[in-house]
Amino acid sequence: MKKTFLPLNDLPIGKKAKVKLLACNGPVRRRMLDLGMIADTEVEALQKSPSGDPVAYGIRGAVIALRSEEASKILVEANVL
Amino acid sequence: MGLTSNQAGRCVFAGKTTISRSNNAGCKVIALAGNPNVGKSTVFNSLTGLKQHTGNWPGKTVSNAEGRYKHKDKTFIMVDLPGTYSLMANSMEEEAARDFLCFGKPDCVVIVTDSTCLERNLNLVLQIIEITGKVVVCVNLIDEAKRKKIKINCSVLSKCLGVPVIPTNARSGWGLMELMDAVYDVSGDVAAVAPVNISYDEVIENAIAMIQPKIYSLIGNKINSRWAALRLLDSDDTFIKVLENYLDFELSDNAQLLEAIKAAKEYLAKNDICPERLHDMIVSRLVQTAESISNAAVIYENKHYSRTDKRIDNVLTSRLFGIPIMLCFLAIIFWITIVGANLPSRLISDFLFAIEDKLTDISMSAGLPKWLYAVTVQGIYRTLAWVVSVMLPPMAIFFPLFTLLEDVGYLPRIAFNLDNFFKKACAHGKQALTMCMGFGCNAVGVIGCRIIDSPRERLIAILTNVFVPCNGRFPTLIAVSAIFIGGRFGGAFASFASTLALTAVVLFGILMTLLISYILSKTILKGLPSSFALELPPYRKPLIGRIIVRSVFDRILFVLGRAAIVAAPAGLVIWIMANITIAGTSLLAFAANFIDPFGKLLGMDGYILMAFILGLPANEIVIPIIIMSYMSAGSMLEIESLEDLRQLLISNGWTWLTGVCVMLFSLMHFPCGTTLWTIKKETRSAGWTLAAFAIPTAAGIILCTAVAGIARLLGLA
């Protein structure tokens, strides 16, 4: 098991990861924080929509769909075999 | 989807933050806050009896509504705030909610939370507690929590938060009495509250201490000075303006305060806390506090409590089945509506026209003047009877079915499935939700566009909302598709074929929504799609009885009432136009003949076009007007079934092409009067209202002309 950093939109479905960095500013950053995405929050990639984007993520007990533009700005740390 | 007098704009007072107290002496003002989609509107309705429409998807309350209820010896005015995740003023709705909580001086704030997702909800609870301690937390949907084996220890929660916590199941009314008791106590200062104090890092606390006393000396207890200090540090200077606005005095002139703010910000900067980092730290502390409280008060007995939901989503939004299943749901609803509406439609029309015969007898024996009889019975009553028998059965079937999908929580999944198309059209993902609202009523869909923050994308959503057929147009579409498309096949395939046609029309409407959105964002409303996060709420068990009661009272009666109000005078106008003759031709025939060439160009005729024009107040009356016009032209006097209607239309020159063009034009023409008025109110611009009128009309004219032209060219009709 090795820890790697990757943008959230690259997290495979069914995998969990920890939020490490929000690479966005202004309103987008505020919105992500409001969803509870602070450092070390666990997120799980749950389900792709039929066209592959957006993707539904499990965040603090809620299911939130994010477009790849937003998800790519969230850096997470995941265990990869 | 909701169509209530409330949402059509009567009780709306978005932006208003004070309730005039002089008229309401002795009343207690209660603010109702909460995340989107936690059952806030259900609590509001159960307590006040007002029919604020509720549904299982985020952002339902798009404007503040207020209602009253009595408990013990006091009257309470309850204000339903927009559902928000936070009060950090990221959007207009959050700003409105924050301003009311802060400056509206509610005597108590009820915060409704979702017990199946408490941790996230606590974030808002903590933010509100920072503003005012007079809070009652309502842990709603407790039955859903039980079903998912989530145990919530309300006394621990209450101890952690320092305010009363009441478990409720608002849908069944369970716990509401206790909630009202708690509100009574807190608002009357009977119960002492000791709200939790959220403490921040030392540096931030020092910075707060540098300005809090200055604020306190200026405004005293008018608002919470600690909270105001924190906001002044966290936000830019616009918050000063907000304070000035509501507290009615000049802060920006107060050199001492400005000095203190500047010093505090410098102090933060010196300690490596830039504004962005400060905001992160504040939010993080709130989220961490919420997490630790949740850990103390919530027990998940089943770690996989959301597994069923995930499994359902795996199917309903899967790559392979997501969109086909969505189309199937739509088609099944249409099919049930078409098949089911036939018989009741006939029974109702039999009944109503039997009454007409009675009315005729009565007026004859009473010796009523002939013209008066003709105006009231043949004019007004007959149009009304048509509206009721054509409209009521499909609505009575369609509404509960659609409400069922909404109640279960399927609509946000539609938005999830379709989002990529909207992204490609450079539109907002939530536009799919406002589009779904349009199925109920376009005016409601237009108001619903408030859930979209970006003004550009909001305008696009408003301008294209009319491309989905509202319930006023469904009966037209259903009748025409049943006659001219189903009718061509006959037998068992008839209903199947008309279902397919109807589904195709709706799909086409969605396609046009996307196309027009794309064109708009490439021309007059240029821009890139803004960010968005769409919540997919947990699926909930629908309460069938409640759905039926609610559809009947909230929607069917309201829509029918509106249709009747419009239909009665319209019937009068039609009758007058049909019976006043100039040089041997009736006014109606004269007007219809005048626009007939244009109607023919569009594959229809002058009477149909007239019906669309006269149907501007409400689309429901288009088909009845067509029938009235044809009948007044004299070929037939009574219609008892769809077959008679078919005969009437065919004898007036309808072909399959007329049917198709009527369906297309019904899908794409100017919005009804109510919708236009709502658009004017929402955009505050006559220009955009005109655009909302012109865009669908132009699309309809172009398409109908093209379809009719091509069909004639190919010799198909």
Task: Please report, to the nearest 10 degrees, the dihedral formed by the alpha carbons of residues A18, A24, A25, A26 taken in order.
Answer: -90
Window from B20-34, B139-153, B583-597, B603-617 with minimum mean pLDDT: B20-34
Angle at which helices B118-131 and B92-103 cross, to 10°:
50
Which residue spans within B96-199 are E strands per DSSP? Answer: 108-114, 135-140, 150-152, 165-167
> Does residue B452 register a pLDDT over 50?
yes
Residue B691 is predicted with a pLDDT of: 95
Residue B573 is predicted with a pLDDT of: 81
Cα B24 to Cα B74: distance, rounded to the nearest angstrom: 11
> Does residue B636 register a pLDDT over 50?
no
Q: How far is CA B370 from CA B367, B376, B569, in A?
A: 8, 10, 19
Residue B12 is predicted with a pLDDT of: 33
The band of B257, judged by pLDDT with boundaries at 50, 70 and 90, is confident
The band of B310, judged by pLDDT with boundaries at 50, 70 and 90, is confident
Which residue matches tokens 């098949």?
B339
Nearest partner of B551 among B329, B403, B338, B391, judged by Cα:
B403
Residue A7 is predicted with a pLDDT of: 94
Delimit the domains of chain B by residue range.
Answer: 28-187, 202-300, 322-713
Residues 98-127 of B with CB under 8 A from A: 116-120, 123
Cα B283 to Cα B98: distance, rounded to the nearest angstrom: 16
Residues 31-50 of A with CB under 8 A from B: 31-36, 38-39, 41, 46-50
Residue B633 is predicted with a pLDDT of: 57
Residue B359 is predicted with a pLDDT of: 86
Residues 304-363 of B with CB under 8 A from A: 306, 309-310, 313-314, 317-320, 322-323
**pLDDT tens digits, residue range B49-90?**
755 555 544 444 445 577 888 888 888 988 888 888 888 866
| Cβ neighbours of residue B441 closer than 8 Å, sequence gap 6 or more | B1, B3, B8, B470, B471, B472, B559, B674, B675
Q: Where does B580-715 have alpha helices with state H?
A: 587-601, 606-614, 622-632, 642-651, 656-667, 673-683, 686-713
Identify the CATH number of the domain in which residue A52 sits: 2.30.30.90
The band of B635, judged by pLDDT with boundaries at 50, 70 and 90, is very low
Residue B51 is predicted with a pLDDT of: 55
Provide the residue range defining the domain that includes A51.
2-80
CA closest to B305 among chain A residues:
A61
The band of B237, judged by pLDDT with boundaries at 50, 70 and 90, is low
CA closest to A60 among chain B residues:
B120
CB contact (8 A) between residue A58 and residue B416? no
**Count of CB atoms situated within 10 Å of the CB of B389:** 22
| Proportion of chain A above pLDDT 90, given as a percent | 52
Residue B59 is predicted with a pLDDT of: 45
Residue B25 is predicted with a pLDDT of: 66
Residue A10 contacts B, CB cutoff 8 Å:
no
Residue B62 is predicted with a pLDDT of: 43
Window from A61-75, B287-301, B546-560 with minimum mean pLDDT: B546-560
Contacts of A62 in chain B (CB under 8 A): 117, 120, 535
> Does residue B13 register a pLDDT over 70?
no
| Cβ neighbours of residue B233 closer than 8 Å, sequence gap 6 or more | B204, B207, B208, B211, B261, B264, B265, B268, B278
Window from B90-94, B177-181, B408-412 with minimum mean pLDDT: B90-94
Window from A23-32, B6-15, B97-106, B136-145 with minimum mean pLDDT: B6-15
What is the least distance, in Å, from the CA of B287 to any CA of chain A? Answer: 6
Better-predicted residue by pLDDT, B325 or B483: B325
Give CATH for domain B28-187.
3.40.50.300
**Residues B619, B666: contact at Cβ < 8 Å?**
yes
What is the least distance, in Å, from the CA of A9 to any CA of chain B? Answer: 14
Choose the most confident range, by mean pLDDT, from B22-26, B29-33, B483-487. Answer: B29-33
Residue B180 is predicted with a pLDDT of: 94
Q: Which two tokens stand for residue B300?
A: 């998940």
Q: Which two tokens stand for residue A20?
A: 């490490």
Window from A44-53, B20-29, B267-276 with minimum mean pLDDT: B20-29
**pLDDT tens digits, residue range B108-124?**
999 999 998 899 899 99
> Does residue B625 register a pLDDT over 90?
no
Better-predicted residue by pLDDT, A2 or B416: B416
Residue B14 is predicted with a pLDDT of: 39
**Residues B195, B163: contact at Cβ < 8 Å?**
yes
Burial classification of residue B140, based on how many CB atoms lie within 10 Å of its CB (0-12 exposed, 13-18 middle, 19 or more buried)? buried
Give CATH for domain B202-300.
1.10.287
> Does residue B213 register a pLDDT over 70?
yes
Chain mean position to CA A43: 6
**pLDDT tens digits, residue range B662-675?**
999 999 999 988 88
Window from B197-211, B600-614, B632-646 with minimum mean pLDDT: B632-646
> Does residue B704 register a pLDDT over 50?
yes
Cα B201 to Cα B441: distance, rounded to the nearest angstrom: 50
> Does residue B209 register a pLDDT over 50?
yes
> Does residue A6 register a pLDDT over 90?
yes
> Does residue B440 register a pLDDT over 90?
no
Domain total of chain A: 1
| Proportion of chain B above pLDDT 90, given as a percent | 28
**pLDDT tens digits, residue range B346-401?**
788 888 888 888 888 888 888 888 888 877 887 788 778 877 877 778 778 887 88
Which residue spans within chain A are E strands per DSSP? Answer: 2-7, 16-22, 42-48, 55-59, 62-66, 74-80
Mean pLDDT value across chain B: 83
Identify the H or E element spanning B136: strand B135-140
Better-predicted residue by pLDDT, B484 or B181: B181
The band of B640, judged by pLDDT with boundaries at 50, 70 and 90, is low
Contacts of B535 in chain A (CB under 8 A): 62-65
The band of B205, judged by pLDDT with boundaries at 50, 70 and 90, is very high
Residue B16 is predicted with a pLDDT of: 46
Residue B304 is predicted with a pLDDT of: 78
The DSSP annotation for B85-102 comes to S-SS--SHHHHHHHHHHH
Contacts of B291 in chain A (CB under 8 A): 60
Residue A60 contacts B, CB cutoff 8 Å:
yes
Contacts of A67 in chain B (CB under 8 A): 419, 423, 429, 529, 531-532
Residue B300 is predicted with a pLDDT of: 87
ipTM tops the 0.90 cut: yes
